[in-house]
A and B are shown apart, each in its own frame.
Chain A
Amino acid sequence: MSTLPVAAGGTARAVAPRTHRRFDFARAAAYFQAAPLAIVFLCFLVFPIVAIVVVSFFDYDSVQIIPRFTLENYRELLFSKVTWETYLNTFRFAAMTWAATLVVGFTLSYFLAFHVRSTLMQIALSLLCTVPFWTSNIIRMISWIPFLGRNGLLNMALVRLGIIHQPLEFLLFSDFAVVLALVHLNTFFMMIPIFNSMMRIDRSLIEAARDAGARAPQVLWNVVIPLSKTGIAIGSIFVIALVMGDFITVRLMSRGQSASVGLMMANSISLLQYPAAAANAVLLLILVLGMIAGIVRGVDIRRELTGANPGGTATNE
């Protein structure tokens, strides 16, 4: 196999001088085909981020942004205790949400992929999982309030059943409520990539494991989980990125009693301190990218995205 690219490279070099002077249509076509996506990324990803980075170095006062280079925004941000407490709290939410969505998402995917036999039923059930997405995030969050409130459905039911005597206070406007809502909103993003990975697992591998004497938990641990790793990684990236940037869930479900980085930025913006918010956004971006880099290092995500068959065979000996 190793001789092949060398040979191909040699041929390309040999003909290169002749084709070089002419206009290379194949190359031009390739750039042309890539252009639409490149333009979209440039307009909606690169430019906004560059703008944020630039603004994060601007000065400001209570009424306007002053386009003058300063490091003051970063100095204020990095040397404030509140910043790091808020970040710590956000990491805490992210970690708890990640753990919960992983357990719930993995379990649901496992059920869908391995216990639901008919493809029709699989499609029907995964569509059912998308039903909550037909309403807005806000509505989905708000609908927890009558359920979890002091005189809400859950407390009333528990009191009536005699399980508790006093309504539980921690259910709503608490960290518990925040994490619950975050899990509710984000489990789907964990579940779908894991389900996708699981559907690619050759069923004969499960049989082979059973044939070799593996009991159900051993099959899960030694075959299903390792082969779902890419799905777990992709789902984790989704969930962590979404939770780290969240502000509305934290605001609504804690009624302002918990802080998150997103909320901090929202507060800066409401005070028209755009450069401070921008500096915070840059810091958050760096930290989240670092977390994603950590996840990607452990798992070959490209394989999942390109759809290469993990059980694939090297062709020639």
Chain B
Amino acid sequence: MSTRFDVELIAVTKRYGPTVAVDNIDLRIPEQSYCCLLGPSGCGKTTTLRMIAGHESVSDGDVLITDQNVTNLPPAKRGTAMMFQNYALFPHLNCVDNVAFGLKMRGVGKAPRQAQAHEFLGLTQMTAFADRLPSQLSGGQQQRVALARALITKPKVLLLDEPLSALDPFLRGRMREELKRLQSELGITFIHVTHSQEEAMALADLVVVMEGGRIQQADDPRHVFDRPKTAFVARFLGGHNLVPRDGGTELAVRTDRCRLFAIDETVEPSLSGAVSAIEYQGTRVQVTLDTDLGVRVVSHLPDEEFYVHPFHIGDRARLGWSHADAHPVIAN
């Protein structure tokens, strides 16, 4: 990990009257990284993004961008650019003028700014639509224009507010690849707000899981998935069974590391219960077990393994795992 950081948040807090939207968070985002702020709605991720952008004032703490304290600077002086959730394209301007807007505000002449705008429309494959108004474009096309508009000011950090949530699943997949490609090609930091753990896993170098205005865990995706720190992270990412333990902790075990055994087999550690649901999911079979402890656990079994000894709904069974796959997490 490099020692320089593109973005640093130091004890940043955002209060709206008595409510605390973001509660004293610290975060360091290494240079040229793809960072995803992940969490359910209302967790403070968008507020955090808007504070980095300068569209929301910071109640307490400092925001540093490439080692410069920008807490009190206006958005355009921070070296950031934001892509808005609804794209926020100017409806009265065509694509070229939308993209060239930032240059116009900086006093760049008409010919050079339009030439550059065409260049950036080319970067997002929108050259063919240069003369269209935003209302004549589809959602995916509008997003490409918005992306070009954000990039033309040559930001050090690009901020993306739920950029893929308005697209259909097919386009979402394509845009996801394209965002990742752009980020590595341009060599700048992207901070991407999302509520989709799948999106965060696919894109991020650094996943920041937030809940209740606090950071639950910030790490690379494999660490977050393999070693969730809190029960919330395990639940939110999915694919984990949470087994209660004494002393305010729970055990998190990946569902694909759990196996099903006949009820009379001696397996340690294990939970006994009744099969309550079976779903065939193509490459795997999802078996849900209502345990005698009262918690519901899931096992994802490779399909060929399941069909050798199939279970049926109502069967008594035992869910087992190896000690190495179980990690204590903070219950919350």
Q: Which A residues contact B (CB, under 8 angstroms)?
A: 202, 204-205, 207-215, 218, 222-223, 226-227, 310-317
Smallest CB separation, B267 vs chain A (Å): 54
CB interface residues, B 261-294, toward A, < 8 Å: none
In the complex formed, the residue of A with least CB distance to B132 is A314
Pairs across A and B, CB under 8 Å, 11 listed: A202-B86, A204-B88, A205-B91, A207-B82, A208-B82, A208-B90, A223-B90, A310-B91, A311-B135, A313-B139, A316-B138
Which residues from chain A contact B182 at a C-beta distance below 8 Å? Answer: none
In the complex formed, the residue of A with least CB distance to B150 is A211
Report yes or no: A210 in contact with B76, Cβ–Cβ below 8 A. Answer: yes
Which residues from chain A contact B150 at a C-beta distance below 8 Å? Answer: 211
In the complex formed, the residue of A with least CB distance to B139 is A313
Which residues from chain B contact A222 at a C-beta distance below 8 Å? Answer: 90, 101, 104-105
Report yes or no: B135 in contact with A312, Cβ–Cβ below 8 A. Answer: yes
Bound CA–CA A226/B85 (angstroms): 23
Given A310-B91, A311-B91, A311-B135; A317-B101 close (CB under 8 Å): no
Report yes or no: A317 in contact with B141, Cβ–Cβ below 8 A. Answer: yes
Bound CA–CA A213/B76 (angstroms): 5
Which residues from chain B contact A215 at a C-beta distance below 8 Å? Answer: 105
Report yes or no: A208 in contact with B84, Cβ–Cβ below 8 A. Answer: yes
Q: Is B320 an interface residue (CB 8 A)?
A: no
- 9 smallest CB-CB distances across A and B, nearest first, come from A213-B76, A212-B102, A208-B88, A204-B88, A317-B138, A213-B105, A310-B91, A214-B105, A226-B92
Report yes or no: B53 in contact with A313, Cβ–Cβ below 8 A. Answer: no
Number of A-B residue pairs at CB separation under 8 A: 84
Bound CA–CA A212/B80 (angstroms): 9
Report yes or no: B88 in contact with A207, Cβ–Cβ below 8 A. Answer: yes
Q: Which B residues contact A (CB, under 8 angstroms)?
A: 53, 55, 74-76, 80-82, 84-86, 88-92, 101-102, 104-106, 134-142, 149-150, 153
Which residues from chain A contact B142 at a C-beta distance below 8 Å? Answer: 313
Smallest CB separation, B133 vs chain A (Å): 9
Report yes or no: A212 in contact with B149, Cβ–Cβ below 8 A. Answer: yes
Bound CA–CA A215/B106 (angstroms): 10
Smallest CB separation, A273 vs chain B (Å): 50
Bound CA–CA A202/B75 (angstroms): 18
Given A202-B86, A222-B104; A210-B138 close (CB under 8 Å): no
| Residue among A213, A215, A222 facing the most chain B CB atoms (10 A cut-off) | A213
Bound CA–CA A222/B141 (angstroms): 23
Bound CA–CA A290/B104 (angstroms): 36
Contact of B90 among A205, A213, A218, A317 (CB under 8 A): A205
In the complex formed, the residue of A with least CB distance to B135 is A312
Which residues from chain B contact A226 at a C-beta distance below 8 Å? Answer: 92
Report yes or no: B105 in contact with A207, Cβ–Cβ below 8 A. Answer: no
Which residues from chain B contact A316 at a C-beta distance below 8 Å? Answer: 138
Which residues from chain B contact A211 at a C-beta distance below 8 Å? Answer: 53, 55, 75-76, 80-82, 150
In the complex formed, the residue of B with least CB distance to A203 is B88
Which residues from chain A contact B153 at a C-beta distance below 8 Å? Answer: 212-213
Which residues from chain B contact A312 at a C-beta distance below 8 Å? Answer: 135
Bound CA–CA A209/B88 (angstroms): 9
Which residues from chain A contact B81 at a C-beta distance below 8 Å? Answer: 211-212
Contact of A209 among B91, B101, B140 (CB under 8 A): B101
Smallest CB separation, B173 vs chain A (Å): 16
Contact of A227 among B80, B91, B104 (CB under 8 A): B91
Smallest CB separation, B288 vs chain A (Å): 40
Which residues from chain A contact B149 at a C-beta distance below 8 Å? Answer: 208, 212
Bound CA–CA A204/B76 (angstroms): 15
Report yes or no: B88 in contact with A205, Cβ–Cβ below 8 A. Answer: yes
Bound CA–CA A298/B140 (angstroms): 31
In the complex formed, the residue of B with least CB distance to A205 is B88
Which residues from chain A contact B76 at a C-beta distance below 8 Å? Answer: 210-214
Report yes or no: B138 in contact with A314, Cβ–Cβ below 8 A. Answer: yes
Contact of A207 among B55, B101, B102, B141 (CB under 8 A): B55
Smallest CB separation, B164 vs chain A (Å): 16
Report yes or no: B102 in contact with A314, Cβ–Cβ below 8 A. Answer: no
Smallest CB separation, B35 vs chain A (Å): 19
Smallest CB separation, A206 vs chain B (Å): 9
In the complex formed, the residue of B with least CB distance to A218 is B105
